[in-house]
Amino acid sequence: MINRIDTAALRARAAKRRRKWLLAVLAACVLLAWAAMMGVMALSGAASYYRTPGEIGYEDRDGAVRLRLGGYVEKGSVVYGEGARVHFRVTDCQASEPVVFNGVLPDLFREEQGVVAEGRFVNGAFVADTVLARHDERYMPKEVAEKIEHTVCEGAQGQQ
């Protein structure tokens, strides 16, 4: 008896193997795309963008985006409320924004001093959960410190 090789069956098996391999590659690509999308979404939620009061736009005021609001504490604007609540205004000499902070302010916090408040807008006021004084360079990103340094208000301190 002569063994006959069924070429149609061989071709069918090869096509089946190729289909399985193609499905595995496709599944791996979908999984990688999903993981990349999840990573981007996680990072975008944790990011906070630096703005001065003059750079604040309508899209920043909806409270969906975390921001770092930087500039100088406006002279005469600091009002201490109940407990640890403090109201003050941050200015870049072009515009100013009201800030509400509930916590302990840094030792170097004072009027006409460089400051960065981190938080989000709620009902028209910037509600900060972190406040850094300009000279807290250990805790302030270099680009933020440089941007404040280049904003010069007449009579403002914080330049060195």
Q: What is the pLDDT along the chain (160 residues), one digit of tens a residue?
A: 455 667 888 888 888 999 999 999 999 999 999 999 888 877 765 556 778 888 888 877 887 788 889 888 999 999 998 888 999 999 988 888 999 999 999 888 989 888 899 999 998 889 999 998 876 455 555 665 566 566 555 544 444 3
What pLDDT score was predicted for residue 154?
A: 54
Which pLDDT belongs to residue 147?
Answer: 63
Alpha-carbon dihedral angle through residues 35, 59, 70, 136, given to the nearest 10 degrees? -20
Would you state the structure tokens that stand for residue 136, as one six-digit string? 């807290």
Q: How far from 124 is each of 9, 28, 66, 80, 100, CA to CA, in Å?
A: 73, 46, 14, 19, 11
Q: Domain extents for the chain?
A: 1-43, 49-133
CA separation for the pair 41, 155 (Å, rounded): 43
49-133: which CATH topology? OB fold (Dihydrolipoamide Acetyltransferase, E2P) (2.40.50)
Confidence at residue 81, expressed as pLDDT on a 0 to 100 scale: 87
Q: Taking the CA atoms of 89, 92, 96 and 98 in sequence, report the sign of the dihedral they define.
A: negative
pLDDT of residue 136: 47
Residue ranges of the annotated binding site are 135, 139
Q: Is 9 left (phi over 0), alpha (psi -120 to 50) or beta?
A: alpha
Query: Can you say which residues are annotated as belonging to the binding site for heme?
Result: 135, 139
For the full predicted model, state whether its pTM sits above 0.75.
no
- The dihedral sign for the CA sequence 148, 125, 93, 114: negative
